[in-house]
């Protein structure tokens, strides 16, 4: 998207300490912080990468937020699945253009917008109306109205069943995904894939028990660890801190 910033665009502001501020540009609006304010007019019609200066002389680099940026900074009602797990989920579920997905537990919409970005058609089940509204608002805010024809949300409980049939994928972020496995066996087409994200290994274990039949193939459970590196001149070493456990990913292929 090689064009100047315009009113309605989202902008990620980075200060000198790499603190992040996500704003939506609007005519006549201002960004305020402890370091003064910046009129949005100073950013509108300017190119990405500009350095805006506040009334107190603080400098902010202005960039378009990536999907990773937005997931970390967006408004949320429920705890989100973080980027280190979002991409692996899409790989394990083999998400791609035209893939029909039942997603249950849409929360704040982080996984939804990732799968929509990858081209999926999503039917979403969520039991909380406030989460449903937040997910829809976040998806529209980042991806625009154009994806809504591929995003069909329902206020309902996946534990009670799945209405759709011949689905390609079932992707779950629920406390008790094992309760959905029998419904997934009715809803998935042969060769379809189920992926469940669970914070606890006991949740993953119970899900594996529910999938321990000849109806499922290649069932496995894994977690993704994220370790950064400190690189400063000749000082090169792993960071002292890392993002280790967030959740377990359990995946299996339905044979029918």
pLDDT interval class at 77 (50, 70, 90): confident
85 pLDDT more than 70: yes
Question: Residues 155, 129: contact at Cβ < 8 Å?
Answer: yes
Question: Is the pTM for the entire model greater than 0.85?
Answer: yes
| 69-254 belongs to CATH 3.40.50.150 | yes
Buried b (16+ CB within 10 A) or exposed e, 149-171: ebbebeebebeeebebeebbbbb
**Residue 79 confidence (pLDDT):** 81
Torsion of CA 73, 121, 90, 188, to 10 degrees: 140
Q: What is the pLDDT of residue 222?
A: 97
235 band by pLDDT with thresholds 50, 70 and 90? very high
Q: Which residues of 11-38 are buried (b: 16+ CB within 10 A; e: fewer)?
A: bbbbeeeeeeeebebeeeeebeeebeeb
**What's domain 10-65's architecture?**
Roll (3.10)
Can you give the pLDDT at residue 82? 92
Residue 1 has pLDDT above 70, yes or no: no
pLDDT of the residue at 80: 86
Percent of the chain with pLDDT over 70: 100
Q: Above 80 in pLDDT, residue 256?
A: yes
Residue 78 pLDDT > 90, yes or no? Answer: no
Residues 134/136/140/146 CA torsion (nearest 10 deg): 180
- Compute the average pLDDT of residues 228-235: 94
Residues with Cβ < 8 Å from 256, sequence gap 6 or more? 189, 190, 191, 215
What Å distances lie between residue 196 and 148, 173, 190, 203, CA to CA?
24, 6, 18, 10
Q: Where are the domains of the chain?
A: 10-65, 69-254
* pLDDT over threshold 80, residue 34: yes
> Within a 10 A sphere around the Cβ of 212, how many other Cβ atoms?
12
Beta-carbon contacts of residue 103 (< 8 Å; ≥ 6 apart)? 111, 112, 115, 122, 123, 124, 125, 171, 172, 173
Q: What is the pLDDT of residues 2-18, one digit of tens each?
A: 899 999 999 999 999 99
Q: How many CB atoms lie within 10 A of CB 95?
A: 25
Mean pLDDT of 140-150: 96
Spatial distance between the Cα atoms of 221 and 194, rounded to a whole number of angstroms: 12
Tell me the per-residue pLDDT of 152-195, one tens digit each, with 9 for 90 and over: 999 999 999 999 999 999 999 999 999 999 999 999 999 999 99
pLDDT of 141 above 80: yes
Helix (H) or strand (E) holding 191: strand 188-198
Q: What is the mean pLDDT of the segment spanning 55-64?
A: 97
The pLDDT of residue 225 is 94
Backbone conformation region of residue 146, classed left if phi is above 0, alpha if psi is from -120 to 50, else beta = alpha
pLDDT (0 to 100) of residue 243: 85
């Amino acid at each position: 998207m090689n064009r100047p910033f315009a009113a309605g665009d989202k902008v990620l502001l980075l200060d000198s300490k790499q603190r992040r501020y996500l704003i939506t540009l609007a005519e006549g609006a201002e960004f305020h912080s402890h370091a003064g304010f910046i009129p949005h007019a100073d950013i509108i019609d300017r190119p990405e990468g500009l350095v805006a200066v506040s009334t107190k002389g603080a400098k902010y680099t202005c960039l378009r937020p990536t999907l990773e940026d937005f997931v970390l900074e967006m408004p949320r009602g429920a705890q989100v699945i973080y980027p280190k797990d979002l991409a692996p989920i899409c790989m394990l579920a083999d998400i791609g253009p035209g893939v029909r997905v039942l997603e249950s537990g849409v929360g704040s919409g982080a996984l939804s917008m990732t799968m929509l970005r990858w081209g999926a058609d999503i039917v979403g089940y969520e039991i909380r109306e406030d989460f449903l509204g937040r997910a829809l608002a976040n998806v529209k805010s980042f991806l625009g109205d154009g994806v809504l024809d591929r995003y069909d949300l329902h206020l309902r409980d996946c534990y009670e069943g799945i209405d759709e049939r011949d689905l390609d994928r079932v992707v779950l972020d629920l406390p008790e995904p094992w309760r959905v496995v029998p419904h997934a066996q009715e809803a998935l087409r042969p060769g379809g894939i189920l992926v469940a994200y669970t914070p606890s290994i006991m949740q993953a274990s119970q899900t594996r028990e529910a999938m321990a039949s000849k109806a499922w193939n290649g069932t496995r459970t894994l977690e993704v660890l994220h370790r950064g590196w400190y690189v400063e001149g000749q000082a090169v070493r792993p960071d002292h801190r890392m993002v280790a456990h967030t959740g377990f990913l359990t995946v299996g292929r339905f044979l029918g």
